[in-house]
Amino acid sequence: MNSFQLALRVLRTDGRTRVSAILIAVGVAVATALVLLLVSLPGATETRADRSAWQQYGEPSEDGASLELVASEDVAPDGREIQRVDVAALADPSRIDLPPGIDSLPGPGEALLSPELADAVDHTPGSQLGERFGANAGVLGDDALAYPEQLVALVGHAPEDMPSTAMPQDGFSPAGRGADPMLGLLAGVGVVVLTVPSMALVASSARLIAARRERRLAAFRLAGATPRQVIGMVTAETAIAAAGGALLGWAVSPLLRQAATTVPWDGGTWQASDFVLGAVPTVAIVVVVPLLVVLAAALGLRRVLSAPLGAAGGHTPKPLRWWRLVPLPVSGVLFAYLATTASSQVEATLLLVSMAMVIGSLTLAGPWITAAIGGLFVRRWRRPSALLAGRRLRDDPRGAYRATAGVVLAVFTGSMALTVLPSIEGQAGALREYTDGVLYVNADHGSLQRIAADTNDALARYGQDERAVTIGDAFLGDENALARVVDCDAAEQLLVVDMRGACEGAPGVYTPYPDVSRDELTVSAEFGQPGTSLPAAVPVRPMTTTGELAPEAIVDPAVLPADFTPNTGTVAVTSTPANVDVVRTALVSAAGGLPVQSRQARLDGQVSQLDDLQRVTVIGLLAASVLGGCSAAIAAAGSVLDRRRTFGALMAAGTPVRVLARALRAEAALPALVATVGAGVAGTLVGIGLFTMVDDGAKVLTPWLAAPVVLGIGVALIASSVCTPALRRVQAEPLADE
């Protein structure tokens, strides 16, 4: 009988080995399915990017351009981003290659809308949305959209109506920007953060039969089996379970992919076909994951191979050495130091290294802390549950900690992310040039007046009181200080400046820098170009800035030389929350494809990205916690079954199941709690350190920070939930059975 046949026979005849094999298979299946999904993420973002490549600028083509294009972002009344592409055919439209999902190029005054945008237009007054695009000439297919619910408008124009900033191209851009590096990074982190708990699940499952298998293998060794033969048996036993699990994982991976399509990223959900993974990486993952499990099982046999009789239990174990604690404060201090001082690329790299050291030192310190807590319980116990839990933790702190090691990594990473992300979110939109509620379009001088006039016509048509104002760009003095050419009252209303009552006097130049020399005051339309001197009589008055991107000076147009014309500028309109969509429609329809911007839109964009990261973090944490909880639960069940005869005897002697279960629940839950809370605290501290390096601003501590602790409690509850059923199972067995 060879090793494989022996393994099959054991699986057929031993129920507990069968349960363990099934759990190993489940662990491997989960790991395989997760890795298959995570590895497909970069490709999925690339597929998305390729599908929506036409929505971006392509390569400029001065000669032989077939179309002109402006790509911009707009905002729908509900705050969602609209991807807008304004296009004008320069050649026969029938000769222009159209991207998949676009049947024909819209003519001037026409637009093709994505289904979701068409629906929004149908259900919104035209002045708030529909009139931004022109006549609806058709619908964009799914193949033209990054994600199914994307809001996209392909708006047609005559070439002469296109802004000068339009890009002449030879057709639409055929290729996207490649994979999203952020999601690629997250996928890499996810592979580690989710695979570790999956492997912990496998290890816990193997532990279910550890004692029994050790005895069986020891019997084989005593009967003369060589180490190679013993390894063969275990390898075969594990390989059957692991291979089955890998195939199961591969089989269920489409379901996981289907679930992943519902998780929004970068604005929307996914198409099922996005998560396609090639045959070679798929086969590689399905082969490598179980191979690692088999390798781990073979390495775990060292004890049986070196001591065929097995290690005797019930000895006072040697305490863990204190040096395990040393790396944690050392790496913590190093991290804190680098976080507050790092300024160069090398130091930033060292910071990441020190962060890895913090994680590594947690792995070293975790068992010591677990043992210390066990020791505390042993010294202070009042109830047998505390004594049993304390002894178990003190005797096998590595084992107790190992079951939750996967959760530790996930909770550490999650806490760090949940600390950093809201703090960054708190900074979002902080850089501003215009006051809240102002919508603006940057344009060249030739378009400024036309855009302002068309906007004002539309605003009047819509019955709005607001009017567009043009603001020119200029550069003052030898230092080329950025100045905005606008009258004093409009400046105070539109820009983040405080004119400090200076608008009462005659028109002049306003600046926060009191040492500006009036004698050398020149103004230029181009940065670095020689300027025209302003008359000496022009008053220079003080103002203060109230935003980070405020101009360095305001120049009233009345004081400029008659022949001075700014080359570029801005059309700006104020709005209120009640009419912002109508004002936006007026400005967008006049801007001819130039992007209409606002502080709120920028803020929404930043917040949306951070929401994506936060959502992915919480999903990852949840998945890792469920996996960690399952592995801790299986470990708890294993520890009950390991001591089944003792517990059976105690129950036979009248110890109620609930009393023993209470003790075992404490034993199972404590390490999980200690590990998750500890990792959560460490992750938060590291997160604060990381954020300090980026910004000295206030750290935003949100309720989300409690998520790892809540999940830790969840893990502990899952872990302890199996104690009573496991004891009932032991109770139901004949007392002498083993």
Positions touching other proteins (CB under 8 A) are 312-316, 381-384, 387-388, 391-392, 395, 643, 645-646, 648-656, 659-660, 735-736
**C-beta of 382: minimal distance to other proteins in Å?**
6
Q: Between residues 565 and 646, which has the closer beta carbon with respect to other proteins?
A: 646
Q: Between residues 48 and 643, which has the closer beta carbon with respect to other proteins?
A: 643
> For strand 544-545 and strand 469-476, is the pairing parallel, antiparallel, or unpaired?
unpaired
CA dist., res. 446 & res. 440, Å (int): 16
**C-beta of 656: minimal distance to other proteins in Å?**
6
Name the residue with tokens 């709120």. 600
Instruction: Calculate the CA dihedral of residues 372, 684, 189, 711 and round it to 10 degrees.
Output: 70
Q: Give the CA distances from residue 481 to residues 297, 399, 528, 551, 636, in Å, rounded to whole numbers and listed in that order.
A: 69, 66, 10, 8, 69
**C-beta of 695: minimal distance to other proteins in Å?**
50
Q: Give the CA distances from residue 506 to residues 63, 477, 554, 560, in Å, rounded to whole numbers and listed in that order.
A: 52, 21, 14, 13
Per-residue three-class SS string for 90-120: CCCHHHCCCCCCCCCCCCCCEEEECHHHHHH
Q: Between residues 402 and 432, which has the closer beta carbon with respect to other proteins?
A: 402
Residue 582 amino acid letter: V
Q: Between residues 421 and 723, which has the closer beta carbon with respect to other proteins?
A: 723
**C-beta of 732: minimal distance to other proteins in Å?**
11
**C-beta of 394: minimal distance to other proteins in Å?**
8
Cβ atoms of 459 and 469 closer than 8 Å: no
**C-beta of 660: minimal distance to other proteins in Å?**
7
**C-beta of 16: minimal distance to other proteins in Å?**
19
**C-beta of 289: minimal distance to other proteins in Å?**
35
Q: Between residues 532 and 731, which has the closer beta carbon with respect to other proteins?
A: 731
Q: Between residues 348 and 652, which has the closer beta carbon with respect to other proteins?
A: 652
Q: Enumerate the H helices of 276-344 as residue ranges.
A: 279-299, 302-306, 327-341
**C-beta of 638: minimal distance to other proteins in Å?**
15
CA dist., res. 709 & res. 730, Å (int): 32
Q: Between residues 602 and 645, which has the closer beta carbon with respect to other proteins?
A: 645
Q: Between residues 388 and 448, which has the closer beta carbon with respect to other proteins?
A: 388
Closest CA to 584 of 441, 433, 439, 449: 439
CA dist., res. 165 & res. 173, Å (int): 17
**C-beta of 643: minimal distance to other proteins in Å?**
7
Question: What is the CB neighbour count within 10 angstroms for residue 303?
Answer: 14
Q: Between residues 388 and 509, which has the closer beta carbon with respect to other proteins?
A: 388
Q: Between residues 270 and 647, which has the closer beta carbon with respect to other proteins?
A: 647
CA dist., res. 389 & res. 376, Å (int): 11
| DSSP characters over 551-567 | -SEEE-GGGS-TT---S
**C-beta of 654: minimal distance to other proteins in Å?**
3
**C-beta of 381: minimal distance to other proteins in Å?**
7
**C-beta of 311: minimal distance to other proteins in Å?**
9
Closest CA to 145 of 186, 117, 106, 109: 117
Q: Between residues 105 and 666, which has the closer beta carbon with respect to other proteins?
A: 666
List Cβ neighbours of 705 (8 Å cut-off, separation of 6 or more).
Answer: 415, 418, 419, 680, 684
Handedness of CA 93, 94, 96, 100 (dihedral sign): positive
CA dist., res. 661 & res. 646, Å (int): 14
Closest CA to 498 of 507, 489, 486: 489
**C-beta of 314: minimal distance to other proteins in Å?**
3
Q: Between residues 515 and 737, which has the closer beta carbon with respect to other proteins?
A: 737
CA dist., res. 685 & res. 333, Å (int): 11
Q: Between residues 306 and 316, which has the closer beta carbon with respect to other proteins?
A: 316
Helix (H, G, I), strand (E, B) or coil at 509: strand
Question: What is the CB neighbour count within 10 angstroms for residue 697?
Answer: 13
Closest CA to 249 of 24, 27, 32: 32
**C-beta of 407: minimal distance to other proteins in Å?**
24
Q: Between residues 63 and 737, which has the closer beta carbon with respect to other proteins?
A: 737
Q: Enumerate the H helices of 428-538 as residue ranges.
A: 445-461, 488-494
Q: Between residues 258 and 646, which has the closer beta carbon with respect to other proteins?
A: 646
For helices 599-642 and 181-207, the axis angle rounded to 10 degrees is: 10
Cβ atoms of 470 and 590 closer than 8 Å: no
For helices 384-395 and 657-694, the axis angle rounded to 10 degrees is: 50
